[in-house]
């Protein structure tokens, strides 16, 4: 029997997607400097749906300690302001017409600790995503064995490979989290 229907590379690719998503989320966590990527993870309730902030406004960084958000539709300014205030980033926008100005305060020890908790939450979401991919792969293997496509030995061997891939991805997530926590806590 052969593992033609089982694609380990696809499972690894999907798991690596969770790491890429985590790194994207981490880029939004501030470390004391203004960055447009800081606001990218924020979603806004607009036009009856959750939309990324970048689809309802233009984000720019005119100065190292401030961000400007230019909302394209004046009717969405309140929704954008609410989304930014309610995010875990601790930002307080000032509304000036269709533009929101956000001053980035210096990070104090308490705020740094809060941001490490947010980073840990992002990392846990990535771990869950990787484990979900593992579960899908394991379920696929069980079905293939039940259908007689693979034998018990091959099922066991492929399961071990899926688990090894999962372990590698979890280690990568943990390493990325440790690096981000060190970056946040650096004064």
Q: How many domains are there within the chain?
A: 2
| Structural tokens at position 27 | 């880029």
For residue 12, the domain's CATH number is 1.10.132.20
- Please compute the mean of the pLDDT values over residues 12-25 and round it to a whole number: 88
**39-61 residue pLDDT tens:** 777 888 888 888 888 888 888 88
pLDDT band at 1 (very low <50, low <70, confident <90, very high): very low
The Cα 142–Cα 9 span in angstroms is 18
Q: Are residues 124 and 181 in the same domain?
A: yes
Tell me whether residue 1 is in a domain. no
Q: Among 86, 103, 120, identify where a domain stops.
A: 103
For residue 45, the domain's CATH number is 3.30.1360.40
- Please compute the mean of the pLDDT values over residues 90-113 and round it to a whole number: 82
Q: Are residues 78 and 127 in the same domain?
A: no
pLDDT band at 31 (very low <50, low <70, confident <90, very high): low
DSSP string computed for the chain: ---TT--HHHHHHHHHHHHHHHHHHHHTS-SSS--GGGSTT-EEEETTEEEEGGGTEEEEEEETTEEEEEESSGGGHHHHHHHHHHSTT----EEETTEEEEE-PPP-HHHHHHHHHHHHHHHHHHHHHHHHHHHHHHHHHHHHHHTTSS-HHHHHHHHHHHHHHHHHHHHHHHHHHHHHHHHHH--
Q: Are residues 76 and 129 in the same domain?
A: no
Q: Are residues 134 and 81 in the same domain?
A: no
Q: Residue 58 sits in which domain range?
A: 33-103
Tell me whether residue 2 is in a domain. no
Tell me whether residue 17 is in a domain. yes
pLDDT over 50 (residue 118): yes
Q: Are residues 124 and 91 in the same domain?
A: no
Tell me whether residue 3 is in a domain. no
pTM: 0.66
Residue 52: what pLDDT? 86
Q: Are residues 65 and 51 in the same domain?
A: yes
Which among 16, 17, 56, 52 has a CA at the least distance from the CA of 37? 52
The alpha carbon of residue 147 and the mean position of all alpha carbons in its chain are separated, in whole angstroms, by 37
């Amino acid at each position: 029997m052969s593992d033609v229907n089982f694609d380990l590379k696809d499972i690894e690719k999907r798991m690596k997607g969770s790491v890429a998503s985590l790194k994207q989320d981490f880029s939004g966590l501030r470390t004391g400097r203004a960055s447009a990527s800081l606001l990218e993870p924020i979603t806004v309730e607009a036009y009856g749906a959750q939309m990324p902030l970048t689809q309802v406004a233009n984000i720019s960084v005119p100065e190292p300690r401030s961000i400007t958000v230019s909302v394209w539709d004046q009717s969405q300014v309140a929704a954008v302001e609410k989304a930014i205030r309610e995010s875990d980033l601790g930002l307080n926008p000032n509304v000036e017409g269709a533009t929101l100005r956000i001053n980035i305060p210096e990070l104090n020890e308490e705020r740094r600790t809060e941001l490490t908790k947010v980073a840990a939450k992002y990392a846990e979401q990535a771990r869950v995503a990787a484990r979900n991919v593992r579960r899908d792969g394991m379920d696929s293997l069980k079905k293939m064995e039940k259908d007689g496509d693979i034998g018990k030995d091959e099922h066991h061997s492929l399961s071990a490979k899926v688990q090894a891939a999962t372990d590698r991805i979890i280690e990568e997530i943990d390493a990325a989290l440790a690096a981000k926590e060190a970056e946040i806590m650096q004064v």
